[in-house]
Chains A and B, each alone.
Chain A
Amino acid sequence: EAGVTQFPSHSVIEKGQTVTLRCDPISGHDNLYWYRRVMGKEIKFLLHFVKESKQDESGMPNNRFLAERTGGTYSTLKVQPAELEDSGVYFCASSPGPSYGYTFGSGTRLTVV
C-alpha cells in the first residue's frame, strides 16, 4: 500500500509570505495528525483529525496556522503570514484508529528567511 505522502518536501519562503503544506494519508485511515519538529527540539503535536473533523488542535501555535481536511481525505496546513520561528520539519501521520501506531510521512522541511 502507498504510504503517507507529503509535499513539498522542502520549502523556502520569506517572512510574511504564505505557505501551504499538503498531506495525503494512507487510504482508509480516518485519523490524520500533524506534528512539527523545530531545530534541536522534540517532535510536537499540532492537531488531530478524525475524517474531516478536528478532534484536537491544542498544539497549534497561534492563529497564523490553519489546517483543513477536505472530505476526510487529504489535509492541508497553511501558515499565513510565516514568521522565522515557524521554520522546522512538519510531519503528517495517519492511523486506522487511536490504538494503532502512526505511519509518518517524510515531512516537509520549511525554512522561513
Chain B
Amino acid sequence: QKEVEQDPGPLSVPEGAIVSLNCTYSNSAFQYFMWYRQYSRKGPELLMYTYSSGNKEDGRFTAQVDKSSKYISLFIRDSQPSDSATYLCAMSGTYKYIFGTGTRLKVLA
C-alpha cells in the first residue's frame, strides 16, 4: 500500500465550478501538508502549505487537513481554464516529501 493515495483522474469540470481534490495517507507522523500545481513540462509550483490540522485559504484556494481521518483536500472556487493542470499533494514529517501521483484537472471554457 502506498503511503499517499491520490486519484489520478482526469477530472473535467465546467468553468466556474467548485473543484474538490483529495488525498489520503497512512503515516500518522506526517505534520506538513502541501499542494502543488504542475503544468505540462514545468516543475511543481507550491500552492498551499499547511502545518497540522485545520483549514487554510488563499484567494480561490482552500486547503483542509483532517489528521484524524488522514485525509486532505484542496478546493478551487470559480475554476478557470487556466487552472487546468496536474495537482499534486505532498506531505512530510520533517523535510522528506512523499508525493501522491497527481490528479489531472481540466476546466472547460
Residues of chain A touching chain B, judged by Cβ–Cβ distance below 8 Å, are 4, 6, 31, 33, 35, 41-45, 48, 55-56, 59, 91, 98-107
Contacts and interface: CB of A to CB of B under 8 A. Distances in A.
Contacts, number: 53
A41 B51 contact: no
Given A42-B99, A59-B96, A98-B95, 12 more contacts: A35-B97, A41-B101, A42-B101, A43-B88, A43-B97, A45-B98, A56-B96, A101-B49, A104-B44, A104-B45, A106-B42, A106-B43
A99 B43 contact: no
Contacts of B90: 43
A4 B42 CA distance: 12
Interface string B71-105: 00000000000000000101000111111111000
A25 B13 CA distance: 36
A99 B32 contact: yes
Interface of B: 2, 4, 32, 34, 36, 41-46, 49, 51, 88, 90, 94-102
B42 A42 contact: no
A27 B96 CA distance: 21
Contacts of A98: 94-95
A91 B51 contact: no
